[in-house]
A = this chain, B = another copy of it.
Amino acid sequence: MPRYAGVEAGGTSFSVAISEDPDTSKIIESSNFPTTTPEETLSRVVAWLKDRKFDALGVASFGPVDLDPSSDHYGYITTTPKPGWGFAPLLKAFEHLGVPIGFDTDVNAPAFSEATIGGHGEKVTSCAYITVGTGVGVGIVVGGIPVHGLVHPEAGHLLVPRRQDDLHTTFKGTCPFHGDCVEGLVATGALAARLHIPASDLPKLPDSDPVWEITGHYLAALCVNLVLTVSPSVIVLGGGVMNRECLYDIVRKKTLELLKGYIKSPQLTPEKIDKYIVRSKFGNHAGLVGALELARAALQRK
């Protein structure tokens, strides 16, 4: 039975794990290293991996990353503002391990595992994976394959209309690039800025606070634009902000409201929308499971 290693490269920490076929979500062993310099972090991760046996490796990284195998910078983290990590040759650190390597973003990887082993139905070949936390990340799989192009999906920054009753507030959104793009409207920093409270106080708010209703509205606008663009078989929502359980039903209801019946599909009905916009069954391990699925796919391709 093949064994897989997964690395989730995050801006705060790197997670590593080993799993066995057939279900890469069954993690045998895992560990965690704080993200310091590239040299230090990667040498710790590689040392951990070298002590283990595995047949393929998957790396799911914070971005932006270069996913073009024909590029000189393939496998690099590219223009990140994170000090020390700009154009860091991430993948090079793992090449001498001598196993097939799968590589993608930390949101495309979980989109991939949601499509393959997420349990969303046999006909699922596409998926949008949205994580809402200090940022908004969106990974997309189409036809069973993570979406790569000029770069990779960055749909957390989609431009969406401000809602009529939210237009004339003093809150202008917190995205340093776009102001009130989706991320600038619903990431934790945005919610905190809107309410003039520290982000750490957000969990203390009651479900009845109006901020959840407007947050659900903008997440629904994101879902609507994803439905209209890539028509995913399923949308998986996760991340810290989505620990606010009541958000799921708000997003579902408003997605249907904003679509206004334009897209006809059994999934886009009040009866089935709770099977269409869902949480991940992998919880906090979604990124790692994604990395392990990249490993499985890399071994299969070999």
Q: For residue A230, which residues in chain B have a CB less than 8 angstroms away from its CB?
A: 140, 142, 147, 149, 153, 229-230
Question: A116 at the A/B interface (Cβ < 8 Å)?
Answer: no
- Complex CA gap A224/B150 in Å reads 13
Q: What is the distance, in angstroms, from A22's C-beta to the closest C-beta of chain B? A: 24
- Complex CA gap A226/B262 in Å reads 19
Do residues B231 and A149 form an inter-chain contact, with CB atoms below 8 A?
Answer: yes
Q: Which of A140, A142, A167, A229 lies at the interface centre, i.e. has the most chain B CB atoms within 10 A of its CB?
A: A229
- Complex CA gap A221/B262 in Å reads 21
Do residues B228 and A153 form an inter-chain contact, with CB atoms below 8 A?
Answer: yes
Question: A197 at the A/B interface (Cβ < 8 Å)?
Answer: no
Copies assembled: 2
Q: For residue A147, which residues in chain B have a CB less than 8 angstroms away from its CB?
A: 126, 142-143, 230-231
Do residues A231 and B152 form an inter-chain contact, with CB atoms below 8 A?
Answer: yes
Do residues B151 and A224 form an inter-chain contact, with CB atoms below 8 A?
Answer: no
Question: A49 at the A/B interface (Cβ < 8 Å)?
Answer: no
Q: Which of A133-158 contact B (CB under 8 A)?
A: 138, 140, 142-143, 145, 147-155, 157-158
- Complex CA gap A231/B154 in Å reads 8
Known A-B contacts A64-B264, A161-B159; the reply to A150 vs B231 at CB < 8 A is yes
Do residues B263 and A150 form an inter-chain contact, with CB atoms below 8 A?
Answer: yes
Q: Which residue of the partner chain B has the closest CB to A234?
A: B150
Q: What is the distance, in angstroms, from A66's C-beta to the closest C-beta of chain B? A: 10
Q: What is the distance, in angstroms, from A62's C-beta to the closest C-beta of chain B? A: 15
Q: Which of A138, A158, A221 lies at the interface centre, i.e. has the most chain B CB atoms within 10 A of its CB?
A: A158
Proximity bits, A205-245, B CB within 8 Å = 1, else 0: 00000000000000001001111111111000000000000
Q: What is the distance, in angstroms, from A133's C-beta to the closest C-beta of chain B? A: 18
- Complex CA gap A275/B180 in Å reads 29
Question: A79 at the A/B interface (Cβ < 8 Å)?
Answer: yes
Known A-B contacts A78-B264, A177-B261, A261-B177; the reply to A148 vs B143 at CB < 8 A is yes
A-B contact pairs, 7 of them (CB 8 A): A125-B148, A140-B230, A143-B143, A150-B267, A152-B231, A154-B263, A157-B262
Known: A142-B147, A143-B143, A151-B265. 7 other contacts (CB 8 A): A140-B229, A140-B230, A150-B227, A154-B263, A158-B225, A159-B160, A159-B258
User: Shortest 3 CB-CB distances between A and B: which pairs?
Assistant: A149-B231, A126-B149, A177-B262
